[in-house]
Amino acid sequence: MSAPKILVIPGSLRTGSHNVKLAAVAAYALAQAGIEVTRISLADFPLPLYDADLQAKSGVPKNAVNLKRMIGSYHGVLIVTPEYNSSVPPLVKNTIDWLSRVQDPHEVRGQVFRHRPFALAAASTSRLGGTRALAALRLILSACHATVIGNQLALSFADQAYDDMDRLKSQADIEALQDLVRQLIDVSQRMM
């Protein structure tokens, strides 16, 4: 069976973001497993706030179409989200809202969510590690008919979780990441 291609999307643009670091660690773990992996920044796909009137007037923004097509060229996706006020940050939600509106010819709306698994991770300085954002994101993606794998990673006390080389320090965190990576690879291969 051929190795799947995995796309890693950090849901933060902040300099020094713990979630961007976690996305980098996850991308490295995927590469170490022999997977072709790409990590992007949503800064490369700026989108206006979703507005149905804007969509009716101007159509879906080109960046949403480009990101949807990029996602469509991968077998699996890992989203690493921050947690804002116990939920998903606006950047992540707005991106999903626009992606769900992209419909290429011979597709149902939001088809990009239906044919590949999504894995979820979060990093937070709190004890809960972003679990509330993960629950909210799982619900949002499920409403888009996405397959969201069971394993997820909630990295607690993220301000203390990395060594001076930005690698995870805790063996428990490393094992949780490995479990996530293994399941994402397995489900991606089954859905190819």
Give the domain extent around 161: 5-191
Averaged pLDDT score across all residues of the chain: 96
CATH number at residue 70: 3.40.50.360
Give the integer Cα–Cα distance in Å for 101 and 55: 9
103 confidence band (pLDDT: 50, 70, 90): confident
pLDDT of residue 114: 93
Query: Structural domain tally of the chain?
Result: 1
Answer yes or no: are the C-beta atoms of 84 and 17 closer than 8 Å. no
| C-alpha span between 134 and 110 (Å, rounded) | 20
Q: How confident is the model at residue 170 (pLDDT cuts 50, 70, 90)?
A: very high
> Is the distance from CB of 133 to CB of 81 less than 8 angstroms?
yes
Which pLDDT does position 105 carry in this prediction?
A: 87
CA-angle at 174, arms to 39 and 132, nearest 5°: 75
CB atoms within 10 A of CB 115: 14
Mean pLDDT of 147-166: 96
As a whole number, mean pLDDT of residues 29-40 equals: 97
What band does 25 get if pLDDT is binned at 50, 70 and 90? Answer: very high
> What is the pLDDT, as a whole number, of residue 169?
97
pLDDT at 1 over 70: no
pLDDT tens-digit readout, 63-91 = 999 999 999 999 999 999 999 999 999 99
Please identify which residue in the block is written with the tokens 């996305």.
23
Q: Are 21 and 163 in contact (CB under 8 A)?
A: no
